[in-house]
Amino acid sequence: MIIETMTVDMEGLTEKTFDLAEQYKSAPTIILTPFDLEGDVNVYVTSVIVGVGVPPGRGLATVTISSSVGYPGKIFVQSILIID
């Protein structure tokens, strides 16, 4: 099982792309929670791409998240992958 947590500062943007620290064989489940809330906002995952890494078949996951409005706060990100 791989579990990661991090915060992402949206900096008033509606979209942000970042890499997860762990190496993944397949796309993890991503959970997003806005905090420092300054009004109503919806946050959601736009894409998760698992790249090529070493050893072959394992790589960094690049995540793109979006918000319904330009959000100046932070997003709490949890990434979970259950390995068989």
Domains in the chain, please, with CATH? Answer: 2-81 (2.60.40)
pLDDT confidence band for 32 (50 / 70 / 90): very high
pLDDT digit string, tens, across residues 46-65: 999 998 655 655 678 999 99
Answer whether residue 20 shows pLDDT above 60.
yes
How much of the chain exceeds pLDDT 90, in percent?
Answer: 63
* Residue 72, burial from CB neighbour count under 10 angstroms (0-12, 13-18, 19+): middle
pLDDT confidence band for 83 (50 / 70 / 90): confident
Among 13, 11, 30, residue whose Cα is nearest residue 66: 13
Whole-structure pTM value = 0.86
